[in-house]
Amino acid sequence: MSWQQVCTTDDVDEDAIEEFDVGDITLLVANAGGEYYAFPPNCPHQETPLSMGMIEGETLICIKHLWQWNLRTGELGDNAESPLLKYEVKVEEGAVMVNLEKELKYNYQ
């Protein structure tokens, strides 16, 4: 698999995070101020589902220990101690396309 349509822009409200399955891959799509981002479903810290997290501006916040990342730049924000893995995303005529050539996974201990 490479570029796949995961959803449409209407499927994810502004400042919301939704979960999708594409084949065997589960991923999250976030709408941060009209920009769409895709990433694995769980926090790199303790596997907490990021679908229950929050979007504040460009920032993704995990709701457990409040690890935060800038979705656009990838910069680590408050509390975060390791980076968020992100999929490449492009929007084409309302379709949210994600590059799923390789499933992104964390090496949980």
Partner 1 sequence: MPRTAEEFLSPPSVPEDCYVSSSVYTDPDLYAEEEEKLLRRTWKFVCHVSEVPNIGDYRTHDWTGVPLVTVRSPDKKVRTFVNSCSHRGSRVVRYPAGNMKHMTCFFHLWEYDLYGNCTYQTRDEGYEAHGPTKEQAGLREVRTDTFCGLVFMNFDGNAAPLREYIGETATAFESIFGENDFEIFHLNRTHMKGNWKAWFLTNCDFYHEWGHQVNRSTNLTSPDYHDRPWRLNHAQGHGYTARKLDNEPFVVQYKNYKGWKNRDGLVLRGLQPGELVLTDLFPNTSVFMRTTCVRINHSTPYGPDHTVMEERGLGIKGESEADRRQRAKEFTQVWGPYSRNGAEDVAFVEESHRCQEFGANKYDVISRNEPIGDGLQRPQSDAYVRLFYDKWGDYMGRPANNPKNLMTAAE
CB of residue 108 to partner 1, shortest distance in Å: 21
Which of 58, 103 has the CB closer to partner 1? 58
Q: Is 28 in the site for partner 1 (CB under 8 A)?
A: no
Q: What DSSP assignment string belongs to 33-82?
A: TTEEEEE-SB-TTT--BGGG-EEETTEEE-TTT--EEETTT--B-TT--S
Cβ proximity to partner 1, 63 vs 85, nearer residue: 63
Q: Are 5 and 96 in contact (CB under 8 A)?
A: yes
Question: What 3-state DSSP class applies to 104?
Answer: coil
Q: Which stretch in 30-38, 55-63, 86-94, 97-105 sits in contact with partner 1 by CB under 8 A? A: 55-63
Cα–Cα separations (whole angstroms), residue 76 to 60, 80, 108 = 10, 6, 19
SS3 20: strand
Cβ closest to partner 1, residue 6 vs residue 17: 17
Residue ranges in 57-86 that form contacts with partner 1 under rule CB under 8 A: 61, 63-66
Tell whether residue 45 is a contact of partner 1 (CB under 8 A). no
Q: Which residues bind partner 1 (CB under 8 A)?
A: 54, 56, 61, 63-66
